């Protein structure tokens, strides 16, 4: 296979690879946004209503009832109810150790998963412009090859324009894929930060009430 055929073959792969990167990036973005939404309460009022129900049951030491509430729709998929289930299963531990356990569990089972998925979005962000750059290089190689092979007969501007436009379009497409994903990643990181803050606040309230309930006489 000569160089011209190799360049043509690689050039034909650029657009399909960019399409795959765009679709995969969109899929990952939707996946992360849905995962974050699944783990947090939609509104503060919804979180307060859930915690009020938990508080009422804790005041009468209805731990099994709290567990049933946490494991029922629409709470079973959210981070705080699932962490409360872990806290109830380990409620004989000191509160300080229980806080540490819940914090480590949240980081391991929720934040680590989100960071992993976010890292793949970041991979697409880095890959898309590189595919565009590869298209630029291949387009310029093809253009210079035509110039070198047409020294005697002259260069056809139309053929050069085709190669140069391919070089520029692939770069533009790569940027068009990467830039929206960068903005989405910033939004994801903000949402993850809000999720972390809300989980810490809600767990703090629950643990205070659990400690109060355990201090009461049976």
Per-residue model confidence (pLDDT) at position 188: 96
Per-residue model confidence (pLDDT) at position 175: 96
- Nearest-angstrom CA–CA distance, 203 and 99: 8
Per-residue model confidence (pLDDT) at position 5: 83
Domain ranges (residues) in the chain: 3-213
One-letter-per-residue 3-state SS of 84-151: HHHHHHCCCCCHHHHHHHHHHHHHHHHHHHHHHHHHHHHHHHHHHHHHHHHHHHHHHHHHHHHHHHCC
Which DSSP symbol is given to 41?
-
Report whether 96 contacts 216 (CB < 8 A).
no
**Residue 129 scores a pLDDT above 80:** yes
Mind listing the pLDDT tens digit for each residue in 133-192? 999 999 998 888 878 777 666 677 777 888 899 999 999 999 999 999 999 999 999 999
Mind listing the pLDDT tens digit for each residue in 196-207? 999 999 999 999
- Which 3 state secondary structure label does DSSP give 191? helix
Report whether 65 contacts 55 (CB < 8 A).
no
Report whether 186 contacts 67 (CB < 8 A).
no
Six-digit token pair at 97?
């150790």
């Amino acid at each position: 296979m000569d160089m011209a055929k190799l360049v043509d073959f690689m050039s034909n792969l650029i657009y399909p690879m960019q399409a795959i990167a765009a679709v995969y990036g969109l899929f990952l973005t939707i996946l992360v946004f849905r995962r974050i939404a699944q783990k947090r309460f939609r509104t503060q009022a919804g979180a307060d209503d859930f915690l009020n129900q938990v508080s009422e049951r804790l005041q009468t030491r209805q731990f099994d009832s709290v567990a049933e509430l946490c494991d029922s729709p629409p709470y079973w998929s959210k981070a705080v109810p699932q962490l409360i289930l872990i806290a109830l299963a380990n409620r004989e531990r000191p509160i300080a150790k229980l806080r540490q356990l819940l914090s480590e569990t949240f980081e391991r089972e929720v934040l680590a998963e989100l960071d992993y998925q976010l890292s793949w979005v970041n991979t697409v962000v880095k890959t898309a412009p590189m595919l565009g750059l590869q298209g630029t290089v291949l387009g310029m190689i093809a253009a210079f090859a035509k110039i070198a092979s047409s020294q005697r007969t002259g260069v056809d501007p139309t053929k050069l324009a085709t190669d140069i436009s391919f070089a520029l379009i692939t770069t533009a497409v790569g940027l068009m894929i990467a830039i929206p994903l960068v903005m989405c990643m910033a939004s994801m990181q903000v949402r993850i930060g809000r999720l972390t803050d809300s989980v810490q606040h809600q767990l703090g309230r629950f643990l205070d009430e659990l400690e109060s309930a355990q201090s009461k006489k049976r």
